[in-house]
């Protein structure tokens, strides 16, 4: 899930790309925009980059263990 700093950064980025005059959103509009983004991201059930990287490492380690076990099984089957 995105944290509040990431959402604030996204709001700032969006504010910069809006046409001149819209880039300086009133404080209340920024709060509403942040809240809307937070709700939208919660519905998407996103994970943070850190969580994604951790799961990628776990998957790689599991894959290595599986390949090692497959090699052992093949070796045991060939010895019979």
pTM over 0.85? The answer is no
**Report for 3-7, 19-23, 24-28: range of highest mean pLDDT:** 3-7
Output the pLDDT for position 54.
Answer: 96
Output the pLDDT for position 68.
Answer: 96
User: Is the confidence at residue 26, as pLDDT, over 90?
Assistant: no
Please, how many CA atoms are within 13 Å of residue 67, restricted to the half-sphere of its CB?
6
Structure tokens at 46: 């996103």
**pLDDT cut 70: percent of the chain above it:** 76
pLDDT average, residue stretch 32-51? 81
| CA distances in angstroms from 66 to 8, 38, 62, 70, 71, listed in the order given | 42, 39, 6, 6, 9
Tell the residue number behind the tokens 């093949």, with chain if given. 74
Q: What is the mean pLDDT of the chain?
A: 80
């Amino acid at each position: 899930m995105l944290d509040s700093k990431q959402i604030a950064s996204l709001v700032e980025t969006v504010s910069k790309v809006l046409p001149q005059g819209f880039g300086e959103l009133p404080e209340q509009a920024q709060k509403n925009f942040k809240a809307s983004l937070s709700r939208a991201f919660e519905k998407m059930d996103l994970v943070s980059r850190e969580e994604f990287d951790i799961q990628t490492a776990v998957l790689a380690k599991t894959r290595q263990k599986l390949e090692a076990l497959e090699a052992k099984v093949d070796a045991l089957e060939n010895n019979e």
